[in-house]
Amino acid sequence: MLPILSDLQAPATLLLVPAVLCILYSKWQYRKRSSGCPLPPGPRGWPIIGNALDIPLESMAPAYARWAKHYGSDIVSANALGTTLVVIDKYDTAIELLEKRATKYSSRAKSVMAVDLMGYDSFILGPYSDEWKAQRKLFVRYFRPNGGVHIAQEYEVVHRLLLDLNDVPGEVYGLVRHMVGSLAISLAYGLPVQRRRDELVELIDSIARMVGEQLVPGKAIVDVLPWLRHIPDWMPGMGFKRFAKSVRWMATKFRMEGYERALKAFGTEGVRPSFLSDALASLDNVDAVKDSEARHKALGDILNVASTVFGAASDTTTDAILIFLFALATHPDVRKRVQNELDTFLTDRNEFGKRTLRLPTFEDQDNLPFLMAAIMESQRWAPVAPTGVPHSTTEDDVYGGYFIPKGSVVIPNHWSMLNDEGEYGADALDFNPDRFVRPKSGEGEHGIEINPDIRNPSTITFGFGRRVCPGSHIAQSSLWLAAACLLTVFDFEAPHTERPRYVTSEGKVNPRFDAGFLCVPKEFKCEFKVRSEEAKVLLAELGMSV
Ligand code: HEM
């Protein structure tokens, strides 16, 4: 017996020894890389699948916040089938990692489904690379924070929204979506857009939504197990590959449709200066891009940035406006206080002693602090992207004694930072704009101003570091103008029959959201009524000029 056993054992030992050596070497390497530091705390995983069963796919932000509380740590981690997820729970930690250590924390994990299989190409999803830098630079060069290129179009789309809502008061959801989509098309391509319904806006919007759905973490199995992309399409379970193939043409349409229509329309009536016209004009002026290869590359960057404007602006800004409207429709006391402030400032008497009303403009912003506080509170109470857009690391790092390996997916928990009781008070879960104002000296009993000592939610909701949202000024001004104009002209309140849908058993209003990556208020009924005779006159005058 003995000689036979040893015959079998010899080759097995030959294989076993290098395997064990490999494991020991990689453990040693890992120990060296991590300087012996553990990963941030988190739920204990299982062999092979790690924390695949613990990672929340719905209401992610509060679930991650509970982890942070449970482990008493500003950062927690989990293992998603081999990829380390690191969730940042506190603002100061987000600044330390995503801003101060931006050289390591500014990339993105690849979305195999949306980018490789469906062919959607946007610098929002791109890794930290020269291509990303070139496209972001193009974007920022045209949409400079103080450049104001968006202002005229914002007035136009918001004023149209007022008229359209007056015509169809029950369609606020669709009309706000259309308003933001029109703005994006106008800014990117300069194309005129039809009132209420426009075929190009609808086409691009439906493609953007379909791609957006694939970006919900965990939705596309191939993003969790990237090797699945190499399995042939006909194998069982590969339906996602067949689906991606069947919709690939849409990504090309998304990128090309606006561009081709704009090229045909340049110089015709109603076409506006836009990102596209500006970028194409500068392309013609640069000697370095005269040769055809460089020109082709530069044109590709321009097309990507132009289509990114719609993808980045539409869902986010629509949701921000709808969240604001939901907050005020369910908190009528706040709505009335904002309207009092607007009335005081915008009503006057004409030469015959008759009361007149005018629409708010951006020049009025500093004089309407309570409106600003209500907007800030809506962004804090129900942030559009509760878990931000994940970054990924390009180098190993150690923070607070914890090891954060290269290739980690880093999730800033915006929702948790915006509900930090240390910053916003014990009632952080409530909708209460007063937390952002303080008495203004020398302005009597009712004078208020924004309290600069309370952290402005916009320092969180638009993300961090080198990937911070470069369109935040456009989002903020569109939201402000839409909020100010709607409240000047309309009264709106969620009817009592709707209350059971959003009021909890403790009598608190809960924002009701569709689960997913973005926070979308579930559709609720809300009646819009013109507030006064002066507002009716205002709408009639507006109807003649728009
Ligand atoms: C309320 C509306 C909006 C919100 C809440 C929002 C939020 C965000 C967030 C959280 C990020 C990721 C930041 C990070 O990685 O840390 C982002 C990225 C981005 N946003 Fe916005 N955004 C809004 C509107 C807009 C608008 C109107 C535009 C364009 C006109 C825009 C353009 C972009 C672009 C291009 C990126 C990608 C930046 C990069 O990866 O380098 N966003 N936004």
d(CA 256, CA 254): 6
Between the CA of 465 and the centroid of ligand 1 the distance, in Å, is 12
Residue nearest to atom 3 of ligand 1 (CA): 316
Between the CA of 186 and the centroid of ligand 1 the distance, in Å, is 18
Between the CA of 422 and the centroid of ligand 1 the distance, in Å, is 27
Residue nearest to atom 30 of ligand 1 (CA): 471
pLDDT in tens, 518-532: 787 777 888 899 999
Average pLDDT, the chain: 89
List the structure tokens of 112: 């195999």
Query: Does ligand 1 come within 6 angstroms of the Cβ of 124?
Result: yes
Give the number of the atom of ligand 1 that is nearest the alpha carbon of residue 308.
Answer: 35
Between the CA of 289 and the centroid of ligand 1 the distance, in Å, is 29
Instruction: Compute φ and ψ for 480, nearest 5 degrees.
Output: -60, -45
Query: Does ligand 1 come within 6 angstroms of the Cβ of 389?
Result: yes
Which residues, including other chains, have CB under 8 Å from residue 159's CB and lie 6 or more apart?
A: 359, 485, 542, 546
In the block, which residue shows the tokens 């800033």? 412
Between the CA of 311 and the centroid of ligand 1 the distance, in Å, is 10
Residue nearest to atom 27 of ligand 1 (CA): 313
d(CA 173, CA 167): 14
pLDDT at site 1: 42
Within 10 Å of residue 188's Cβ, how many Cβ atoms? 23
Q: What is the mean pLDDT of residues 444-473?
A: 95
pLDDT at site 2: 44
Give the number of the atom of ligand 1 that is nearest the alpha carbon of residue 320.
Answer: 1
Query: Does ligand 1 come within 6 angstroms of the Cβ of 313?
Result: yes
Binding site residues for heme, as ranges?
Answer: 469
d(CA 359, CA 348): 12
What's this model's pTM, rounded to 2 decimal places? 0.92
d(CA 213, CA 293): 35
pLDDT at 30 over 80: no
Between the CA of 209 and the centroid of ligand 1 the distance, in Å, is 16
pLDDT at 25 over 90: no
pLDDT at 325 over 50: yes
Which residues, including other chains, have CB under 8 Å from residue 226's CB and lie 6 or more apart?
A: 110, 112
Which among 99, 462, 466, 478 is the best mutation to test ligand 1's pocket, defined by most ligand atoms within 8 Å of the CB? 462
pLDDT in tens, 399-450: 999 999 999 999 999 999 999 999 999 999 999 999 999 999 877 777 999 9
pLDDT at site 239: 85
ipTM above threshold 0.90? yes
Which among 469, 474, 518, 519 is the best mutation to test ligand 1's pocket, defined by most ligand atoms within 8 Å of the CB? 469
Query: Does ligand 1 come within 6 angstroms of the Cβ of 317?
Result: yes
Residue nearest to atom 1 of ligand 1 (CA): 317
Instruction: Provide the H-helix boundaries in 78-234.
Output: 91-94, 102-105, 130-142, 151-167, 172-189, 199-214, 221-224
Using the Cα atoms of residue 436, residue 438, residue 440 and residue 446 in order, give the sign of their dihedral: positive
Query: Does ligand 1 come within 6 angstroms of the Cβ of 475?
Result: yes
SS3 assignment, position 417:
helix
pLDDT in tens, 62-98: 999 999 999 999 999 999 888 899 999 999 999 999 9
Query: Does ligand 1 come within 6 angstroms of the Cβ of 314?
Result: no
4-545 — its CATH code?
Answer: 1.10.630.10
Query: Does ligand 1 come within 6 angstroms of the Cβ of 385?
Result: yes
pLDDT in tens, 168-189: 998 999 999 999 999 999 999 9
117-152 b/e (C-beta count within 10 Å ≥ 16 → b): bbbbbbbbbbebeebbebbbebbeebbeeeeebbee
Give the number of the atom of ligand 1 that is nearest the alpha carbon of residue 474.
Answer: 27
pLDDT in tens, 361-393: 999 999 999 999 999 999 999 999 999 999 999
